[in-house]
Amino acid sequence: MSFLNDNASFQQKLLRWYQSSKRDLPWRNSNDPYKIWLSEIILQQTRVAQGLPYYQEFTNKFPTIHDLAAASEEEVLRTWQGLGYYSRARNLHKCARIVSNVLNGQFPEKYDALLKLPGIGPYTAAAIASFAFGQPSAVVDGNVFRVLARIFGINKDIASASGQKYFRKIANDLIDPDNPGEYNQAIMEFGALCCTPANPHCPECIFNDTCQARINKVQGKLPVKSKKTRVRKRFLNYAVFKTDKGLYMKPRTEKDIWQGLYDFPVVETAAEMEEEEGLNDIYALFNVQSPGIPESVSPVYIHQLSHQKLSARFYLINFGMFEPVFKDASIRLFSHEEIHDLPKPVLISRYLNDYIF
Ligand code: SF4
């Protein structure tokens, strides 16, 4: 399949645009696979402005893959704190350990071998293979889908497996085999800066004379993405058990987005509860005698994730000098200093900053 009679002039146009328009981002000045991998994992589902300080902190704290592999998972999660999607951080750590301990610190060069590492999907494998090792593997991210769909007027669904395969084939046909890394950077940058999701810069675009979306005025309709993500609503009633020495917290062992982070004992309910109901459930579930009226009950905190909307209320229950013992031995008392150092979901940090510290 070839969409163009002249792939070479498409590539040259794009590369010329890239040379004059690209942003200066720190990972672009390196072909170190460790730094490229780190930046790509951090930037998944994250804007560059948000990801940049994390990239800098990771590379300062863990200058080599061996430093990252030697860190504890807790330390890695704490450095990641605030970026969300914590499974990415856990996979980052697992991958670092494999590369450091099993592969002698060397990332594989080939796309297929990279794909076998934890947390490395088709996009990241193609990025590392092409940016670090000059392999002709096309990256296909949201930017590339959009650019190709618009320029060539493709209305295949990018949420379907067959649609993705179709786009991947075109992207691999178009890649510049002599300069695959720079070509990949260029097409993604073009999507990020010129062919943007809303209000693309068509009047000054280098492809505007042939772009099918512009000619047919369907920029807003391409790419086609059928699946709508269903947002699940969750209602969390947190028990913040307090004594004169600190607060009770526990590590999350559930296999979910917050695995390995610390939060408070929680009662999850199907709908939002009245304050009193929430409190009664907490006493019943954690089998504690009420010490009296709670010291405070927070307003509802809303925390929006991509697939979930969390509504959380925090009940601060002060036991003073008395130290309750819980059946669940993972619920332990931590001093304020210790809590500062624990990896925590952003929702918990927001509450702590508002009410405790
Ligand atoms: S003309 Fe507009 S829609 Fe087409 S590639 Fe350029 S910026 Fe994108």
Q: What is the pLDDT along the chain (357 residues), one digit of tens a residue?
A: 445 567 888 999 999 999 999 998 888 888 899 999 999 999 887 888 899 999 999 999 999 999 999 999 999 999 999 888 788 899 999 999 999 999 999 999 999 999 999 999 999 999 999 999 999 999 999 999 999 999 999 999 999 989 999 999 999 999 999 999 999 999 999 999 999 999 999 999 999 999 999 999 999 999 999 876 678 899 999 999 999 999 999 999 887 778 889 999 998 887 887 777 777 788 877 777 766 678 888 999 999 887 889 999 999 999 989 888 888 889 999 999 999 999 999 999 999 999 888
What is the rounded CA–CA span in Å between residue 185 and residue 130?
Answer: 9
User: Residue 190 Cα, ligand 1 centroid: separation in angstroms?
Assistant: 10
What is the rounded CA–CA span in Å between residue 196 and residue 211?
Answer: 14
The DSSP bridge partners found for residue 302 are 311
Within 10 angstroms of residue 256's Cβ, the number of other Cβ atoms is 11
Contact 243, 323 (CB under 8 A): yes
The helix (run of H) or strand (run of E) holding residue 57 is: helix 48-61
What is the rounded CA–CA span in Å between residue 314 and residue 236?
Answer: 8
What is the rounded CA–CA span in Å between residue 327 and residue 279?
Answer: 18
pLDDT in the model for residue 187 = 97
Concatenated DSSP letters of 165-191: HHHHHHHHHHS-TTSHHHHHHHHHHHH
Closest C-alpha to 121, from 145, 95, 158: 95
What is the rounded CA–CA span in Å between residue 98 and residue 207?
Answer: 43
Contact 120, 171 (CB under 8 A): no
Query: Which of 207, 215, 218 should be mutated for ligand 1, with most atoms under 8 A from CB?
Result: 207
Q: Rounded to two decimals, what is the model's pTM?
A: 0.68
The DSSP bridge partners found for residue 335 are none
Buried residues in 289-301 as b, exposed as e (16+ CB within 10 A): eebeebeebbeeb
Q: Is the CB of 136 under 6 A from ligand 1?
A: no
What is the rounded CA–CA span in Å between residue 350 and residue 173?
Answer: 48
Is 40 considered catalytic here?
yes
Single-letter residue type at 133: F
Query: Which of 143, 150, 218 should be mutated for ligand 1, with most atoms under 8 A from CB?
Result: 150
Residue with tokens 């002599």: 178
Q: Is the CB of 213 under 6 A from ligand 1?
A: yes
Which domains are assigned to the chain?
7-221 (1.10.340.30), 232-355 (3.90.79.10)
Single-letter residue type at 314: F
The helix (run of H) or strand (run of E) holding residue 147 is: helix 142-152
Handedness of CA 275, 337, 258, 27 (dihedral sign): positive
pLDDT in the model for residue 217 = 96
pLDDT in the model for residue 82 = 87
Closest C-alpha to 171, from 339, 46, 23, 3: 3
Which residue minimizes the CA distance to atom 4 of ligand 1?
A: 211
What is the rounded CA–CA span in Å between residue 303 and residue 235?
Answer: 11
Within 10 angstroms of residue 35's Cβ, the number of other Cβ atoms is 22
What is the rounded CA–CA span in Å between residue 90 and residue 99?
Answer: 14
In the chain the beta strands, taken as DSSP E runs, fall at: 232-243, 246-251, 262-263, 266-269, 296-297, 301-304, 308-318, 332-334
Q: Is the CB of 195 under 6 A from ligand 1?
A: yes
Q: What angle do CA 68, 73, 76 make, to 5 degrees?
A: 55
pLDDT in the model for residue 2 = 46
pLDDT in the model for residue 1 = 40
Q: Ligand 1: which atom is nearest the Cα of residue 205?
A: 6
Q: Which two tokens stand for residue 214?
A: 């512009």
**Radius of gyration over alpha carbons of the chain, in Å?**
25
pLDDT in the model for residue 87 = 83
